[in-house]
Amino acid sequence: MTQPATPRTSDPPPPADADGPGQVEASPLAGLAAGLVLVAAGVALFVRALLVGADRGITLGGPTSAPIVVTGLWVVVAVAYLVTRIAAWRRRVPRPAAARPTWRVPILLMVLLVAYAFVLKYTAVGYVLATVLFYVGSAQLLSTRPLREVIVRDTIVGVVLSLTIYLSFTKLLGIVLPAGVLPL
Amino acid sequence: MNAFANLIDGFGAVLTPQNLLYAAIGVTVGTLVGMLPGIGPALTIALLLPVALELDDPTGTLIMFAGIYYGAMYGGSTTSILLNTPGESASVATSIEGYQMAKRGRARAALATAAIGSFVAAIITTILLTFVTEPMARLAVTFRASDYFALALLAMVTVTAVVGASIVRGLMSLTFGLFLGIVGIDALTGQARFTFGVASMLDGIDVVVVIVGLFAVGETLFIASRLRELPEKAVPLEPATGFAWLSRADWSRSWRPWLRGTALGFPFGALPSGGAELPTFLSYMYEKRRSRNREEFGRGAIEGVAGPEAANNASFSGVLVPLLTLGIPTSATAAVMLAAFSYFNLSPGPQLLQNQGPLVWALIASLFVGNVLLLALNLPLIQLWVKVLQIPRPLLYSGILVFATLGVYAVSGNIVDVLLAYAIGLIAMLMRHLDFPIAPAILGLILGPLMETQFRRALLLADGDLSIFVRRPLTLILLLLAVAALALPHLPKLFRGQRAVVTGED
């Protein structure tokens, strides 16, 4: 889980000073790709809704009409979006390199999240242990400092957090969380 | 003074030691969570939903919610002012001047005018709510299915037109929410729709799952994709050292914006116009135009904090009017509250006041109590709360992921729901990158099924005659308004400049 410290830009500005999501102009290609995916997904869903409708009968006010209307709307809006993206792509607006997102950390976080969910549900590891491991792991992914500098701090916070959640939920609120291997 | 007598009864129900404790816990936890950067009231309530639902007592839960909501609003304005990271679009207007004030060493005055302005606005508008609710509910009883359909459509369209930079993106987000709302068994016929053979999808997609995914997971993944640009730790500008009252000049410059913000916030909240975003910006622009200190705007004018903050809080009371009397949520937060109602098998709408009158009055009374407690408990503790802002970012967002997973897992105990929340989070991250607004998706999810039900009910009552939607004047007017809202996209363009600093969505 170790990860080299990413060099930080000198004197980074406060988060929203730089650019919030409202201002992050996605690269024209990303918008184009999103438009294509949206149109494809819309068409697939629309066809499926139509097939189900043809199967069970389409009546105004029946159960198949809302899916057809919504997926149809999806296709129309997605095509409109794609058209605006094609226009942006043809204008070829360059994007500053600094604002380009990195996908490594979110992808690793997703993998960790899915693993966490499966461990919680299907193994005997238990809530507290699984949460501590997940917490330390995800904090490390989100950190720009090396693991050895923060492991003690992260572990302590993780243990306190997961124990507090576990005890307050199971003992005070009566929500069952998996106890697992720890004698809790 | 029937409403007044009912309200007194409401206070009788609320003012028990146990309920006061719930209210105190609510404002404290709400402030704590609401203060976390990028987390607004909608997400705060969604994350705390499983906790509050365990109380098994609708009155207690609603009181806690009122506390959480006001706490979250207060926490949100603190973060906007000290860090310039508004957790929802409604706090953006506050952050413009608030952050500038903090930069110039006037953070305490900004926090104080925000807190007192919110208090004043909330108290005035809750009194208004007290007297509007009953007549409105009487009016709502005359609403027919076709009117509901048109009203829900209007609410959806206006929110989509108002929030975000482009209508096409807003509509796409809305359509995504509408689609999620269709998934599951059709309530009228029992047919499965878009369940893709997954048994646990038959019940539909839980609102909590979508909200946690869109906001908590989405925000964290978004932050994760931009780590290089962000500092490890957010540094608030001025860790306040105790609560200082406003100077005489601050008072005299604040009270009129408070009242004007209140006057703007309540009606806009009550209209299906998308909650607090529009009135906060209108208030900001109005104060900017009117102010004798116009040259200070952009460098930290106190009017620019006082007005929008009052408008923000006032609009919440306004939002409660259609929520309680018609069952129509007009903001993401209201949508989450509607979900909370449904957990107790309460359906807001014209019948709520008739069948559950005492509960509604207890809720309204708890709004008063929540406000007073917030001012009394939290304002003196500001220096303590500001420490929350100093939590290192990795610890903060890892904690948010833990709570997000817990929130979904505790509600359903179902791994499909947890994975679904993650997947929606992934989509939400991409939406943030591509500049799609989040709020329309939530409203689509909540209002879509409601619209479909009312549409089918209206058709059923009219024997399948579609002209029912144009024959009834009220329905026709609402539908025409919805068309007008889509056709007039020029209003939000006026705000686009100010919108540049949005870091989250309501």
How far is Cα A117 from Cα A134, in angstroms, rounded to an integer? 10
How far is Cα B287 from Cα B170, in angstroms, rounded to an integer? 28
Residue B88 has pLDDT above 80, yes or no: no
Q: Is B343 on the interface with A (CB under 8 A)?
A: no
- CB contact residues (below 8 A), chain A span 127-156, against chain B: 131, 134-135, 138-145, 150, 153-154
Nearest to A82 by CA among A141, A30, A126: A30
Q: Is B171 on the interface with A (CB under 8 A)?
A: yes
CB contact under 8 A, A63 and B191: yes
How buried is B6 (Cβ within 10 angstroms: 0-12 exposed, 13-18 middle, 19+ buried)?
Answer: buried
Domain end: A67, A94, A121, which one?
A94
How buried is B506 (Cβ within 10 angstroms: 0-12 exposed, 13-18 middle, 19+ buried)?
Answer: buried
Do A72 and A108 belong to one domain? no
Q: How many helices (H) and strands (E) does chain A have?
A: 6, 0
Q: Which long-range contacts (CB under 8 A, 24 or more apart) does B9-13 make?
A: B9/B358, B9/B361, B10/B358, B10/B360, B10/B361, B10/B362, B10/B363, B10/B364, B10/B365, B10/B366, B11/B365, B11/B368, B11/B369, B13/B59, B13/B358, B13/B361, B13/B362, B13/B365
Local confidence band at B504 (pLDDT 50, 70, 90 cut-offs): very low
Q: How far is A49 from chain B (nearest CA, A)?
A: 8
**Residue A144 has what pLDDT?**
82
What is the average pLDDT value for chain B, to the nearest integer?
Answer: 81
Alpha-carbon distances of B334 from B200, B331, B338, rounded to whole Å: 26, 5, 6
> What is the mean predicted confidence (pLDDT) over B137-155?
85
Do A109 and A73 belong to one domain? no
**Residue A74 has what pLDDT?**
96
Q: What is the pLDDT of residues B414-425, one digit of tens each?
A: 889 999 999 999
Integer distance in angstroms from the first to the last C-alpha of chain B? 36
Residue in B172, B227, B456 nearest the CB of A102: B227
Residue B333 has pLDDT above 60, yes or no: yes
| B493 Cβ neighbours under 8 A, 6+ residues apart | none
Bridge partners of B192? Answer: B185
Residue A4 lies in a domain: no
Beta strands in B21-176 (DSSP E): none
Please tell me the least confidently modeled range out of A46-60, B84-98, B433-447: B84-98
How far is Cα A134 from Cα A162, in angstroms, rounded to an integer? 10
Residue A11 has pLDDT above 50, yes or no: no
CA B466, B470, B475 angle in degrees (round to 5)? Answer: 110
Do A154 and A123 belong to one domain? yes
Q: Looking at per-residue confidence, does A128 or B296 come out higher?
A: A128
**Contact in structure between B209 and B421 (CB atoms under 8 Å):** yes
**Residue B122 has what pLDDT?**
92
CB contact under 8 A, A84 and B168: yes
DSSP letter at A170 equals I
CA dihedral (B98, B103, B104, B108) positive or negative: positive
Do A170 and A108 belong to one domain? yes
Residue A49 lies in a domain: yes
Residue A181 lies in a domain: no
**Residue B92 has what pLDDT?**
77
How far is Cα A152 from Cα B251, in angstroms, rounded to an integer? 48
Q: How far is A8 from chain B (nearest CA, A)?
A: 6
Q: Show me where the domains of chain B are located.
A: 3-490
Nearest to B150 by CA among B441, B489, B474, B485: B474
| B35 Cβ neighbours under 8 A, 6+ residues apart | B75, B76, B78, B79, B385, B388, B389
Q: What is the pLDDT of residues B403-413, one digit of tens each?
A: 889 888 877 77
Q: Is B502 on the interface with A (CB under 8 A)?
A: yes
- CB contact residues (below 8 A), chain B span 436-495, against chain A: 448, 452, 455-456, 459-460, 464, 466
Please tell me the least confidently modeled range out of A82-96, B181-195, B290-304, B452-466: A82-96
CA B382 to chain centre: 23
Q: What is the pLDDT of residues B204-217, one digit of tens each?
A: 888 878 888 888 89
Q: How far is B97 from chain A (nearest CA, A)?
A: 13
* High-pLDDT (> 70) share of chain B, %: 87
| B424 Cβ neighbours under 8 A, 6+ residues apart | B180, B209, B210, B213, B214, B217, B218
How far is Cα B470 from Cα B466, in angstroms, rounded to an integer? 8
Q: What is the pLDDT of residues A24-60, one digit of tens each?
A: 455 778 889 999 999 999 999 999 999 988 888 888 7
Q: Is A64 on the interface with B (CB under 8 A)?
A: yes
Write out the two tokens for A48.
Answer: 């499926």
For B192, phi then psi, to 5°, come to -80, 135
**Residue B60 has what pLDDT?**
82
Do A126 and A144 belong to one domain? yes
Residue A16 lies in a domain: no
Local confidence band at B435 (pLDDT 50, 70, 90 cut-offs): confident
Q: Looking at per-residue confidence, does A116 or B290 come out higher?
A: A116
> What is the mean predicted confidence (pLDDT) over A118-144?
92
**Residue B500 has what pLDDT?**
43
Do A132 and A108 belong to one domain? yes
CA B68 to chain centre: 12
Do A77 and A141 belong to one domain? no
Q: Of the segments B154-158, B256-260, B294-298, which one has the largest average pLDDT value?
A: B256-260
pTM of the full structure: 0.80
How far is Cα B248 from Cα B39, in angstroms, rounded to an integer? 33
Q: Is B4 on the interface with A (CB under 8 A)?
A: no
- Which residue segment(s) compose the domain that A82 sits in? 29-94
Q: Looking at per-residue confidence, does B55 or B236 come out higher?
A: B55
Number of domains in chain A: 2
Do A65 and A89 belong to one domain? yes
- Here the ipTM equals 0.84
Furthest C-alpha separation in chain A: 65
